[in-house]
A and B are shown apart, each in its own frame.
Chain A
Amino acid sequence: MRIRVDTELCQGHGRCYMLAPDLFEADDDGYCQPTDERAVPAGLADQARRASMNCPEDAIFLTEET
């Protein structure tokens, strides 16, 4: 599974670093980091889904690798 954040859509709601603290943290402005596309580490797929599902702006994109 791969994850990325569209920084144009992200408005700093902060749900992702609250619900997926092993995948995201808040930067000094309160926006999430990191945002570049990356592989979701083993064991964190549930956090990745939770972050994506709960973003009010639908800014977090997941792609399942086959």
Chain B
Amino acid sequence: MTDADTKKYSLEPPEVARNPHDTYRELRDSAPVTELGGRSQSGAITLSRHEDVMRAFQTPEVFSSDPDAVEIGNTRPLVPLQIDPPHHRKHRKALDPLFAPKQMAKHEPRVRELIRELINKVADQGHCNFHNDIAEPMPSTIFLELLGLPVSRVDEFLALKDGIIRPPARSMEERREKVRATGQKIYAALEEVVDARMAERQDDFLSTILDAEVDGQPLSRDDVVDIGYLFFLAGLDTVSASLECMVAFLAQNPDHRQRLVDEPEMIPHAVEEMLRYESPVASSARITAVDTEVNGCPISAGTRIHLLIGSANTDERSWLDPDNVDFDRESKKHIAFGAGVHRCLGSHLARMELRVALEEWHARVPHYRLADGIELEFSQGIRQIDNLELVW
């Protein structure tokens, strides 16, 4: 890497955030190991080829998930995301059953009931802001109910989550300060609920986790709060953004949309293919634990690394015709949920919610498009679309 190449590319311009695939390709071809330009990047190295991203995901002893990899307001490691093997496996083992497909199937009727309620509110008016009316309330309500946080405080929790994931800030210092202050509020909210559950269990995840054991010992109050913090950030954001990316794609691609109206049994395949192409969680953070090398580029220990999932999922070295969104595509090998030991714990919940939401939406609102004059604004990192204005 020469100085001239450094910071030549950025994913931050609005037109790139909207359609990142050309930049992804240029990165893979010309700068597969590089420092991106932009405000939020300072010093991080971005990997964009599928092979390199997979190697990083699969070697946590080199590409660590230590808390130093990313600034998200926490003062202790998030569990299990920010602990590396071998300790990781024990915690993961305690949490996997909560999110297993068999468990998620039990929640499907409630998800369907809720999405129908939300769709009923807008179906006859002929237009909506899909982010405000459907994609944000649906997964956040479900998640707060599952976790055991009061749904009546959903607006407060959503603001806290956005205060970490996309804080409005003009400088890195301001950003860091806002994230830190927001993190303290999240700890306080979680500690209040965890203390209440310690006194009296309810039928929710926090209660189940309080009774879980790791190495024959119950989890500590801090452990349960640290699991809750991770769930809070992951559960209140990613499914909303994924549903927005998918509906935005379908609103702009009427043939694909019509296919799902005519053949709703294709929806699970469409979910996988749009997860691949859109990669709503565009990148994942790591930090090098030791000096290493990627594609001949030396990287010293302690370097923040961004694994560009969206680029890996459209790498022509690993995919045939990757920019063609093909619901019949044989290969469903995408890594939209990451890979390796930290593969998304909530992926089976996310898949179920996305499938049910698309089934119910297309049954009720089969023909829709973007409102006239709308230029979609995608946020960085996790690709949320606040101005997803639809008409039908």
Chain A positions near chain B (C-beta within 8 angstroms): 11-15, 17-19, 26-31, 50, 53-57
Neighbour of A15 across the interface among B54, B102, B332, CB < 8 A: B332
The 9 A-B pairs of least Cβ separation, nearest first, read A30-B100, A29-B96, A11-B343, A26-B101, A54-B332, A54-B333, A56-B339, A56-B333, A29-B97
- Asked, given contacts A15-B333, A19-B332, A56-B333, whether A29 binds B100 with beta carbons under 8 Å apart, the answer is yes
Residues of A with C-beta under 8 A to B343: 11-13
A26 touches B102 (CB 8 A): yes
Within 8 A of A (CB), among B113-148: none
Residues of B with C-beta under 8 A to A27: 100
- Asked, given contacts A30-B348, A31-B96, A56-B339, whether A14 binds B332 with beta carbons under 8 Å apart, the answer is no
Residues of B with C-beta under 8 A to A17: 101
CB distance from B314 to the nearest CB of A (A): 15
Within 8 A of A (CB), among B60-112: 93, 96-97, 99-102
CA distance A29 to B95 in the complex (A): 8
B339 touches A11 (CB 8 A): yes
Closest to B348 in A: A30
Q: Is the interface of B mostly helix, strand, loop or mixed?
A: helix
A13 touches B337 (CB 8 A): yes
Chain B positions near chain A (C-beta within 8 angstroms): 54, 58, 93, 96-97, 99-102, 268, 330-335, 337, 339-341, 343, 347-348
A14 touches B101 (CB 8 A): yes
CB distance from A36 to the nearest CB of B (A): 20
Residues of A with C-beta under 8 A to B93: 29
CA distance A46 to B377 in the complex (A): 42
B100 touches A26 (CB 8 A): yes
- Asked, given contacts A29-B93, A56-B334, whether A13 binds B100 with beta carbons under 8 Å apart, the answer is no
CA distance A18 to B347 in the complex (A): 13
B330 touches A30 (CB 8 A): no
B340 touches A14 (CB 8 A): no
Closest to B96 in A: A29
Residues of B with C-beta under 8 A to A56: 54, 333-335, 339
CA distance A15 to B273 in the complex (A): 13
> Assuming A29-B93, A56-B54, what are 14 further A-B pairs, CB within 8 angstroms?
A12-B96, A15-B332, A18-B332, A28-B97, A28-B100, A28-B102, A29-B97, A29-B100, A30-B101, A54-B330, A54-B331, A54-B333, A56-B333, A56-B339
A11 touches B331 (CB 8 A): no
- Chosen A-B contacts, 22 in total, with CB atoms closer than 8 Å, are A11-B339, A11-B343, A12-B343, A13-B339, A13-B347, A14-B101, A14-B347, A17-B101, A18-B268, A18-B332, A28-B97, A29-B100, A30-B96, A30-B99, A30-B100, A31-B96, A50-B330, A54-B331, A56-B54, A56-B333, A56-B335, A56-B339
CA distance A14 to B331 in the complex (A): 14
B348 touches A53 (CB 8 A): no
Residues of B with C-beta under 8 A to A14: 101, 347-348
CA distance A57 to B340 in the complex (A): 7
Closest to A9 in B: B58
CA distance A14 to B99 in the complex (A): 12
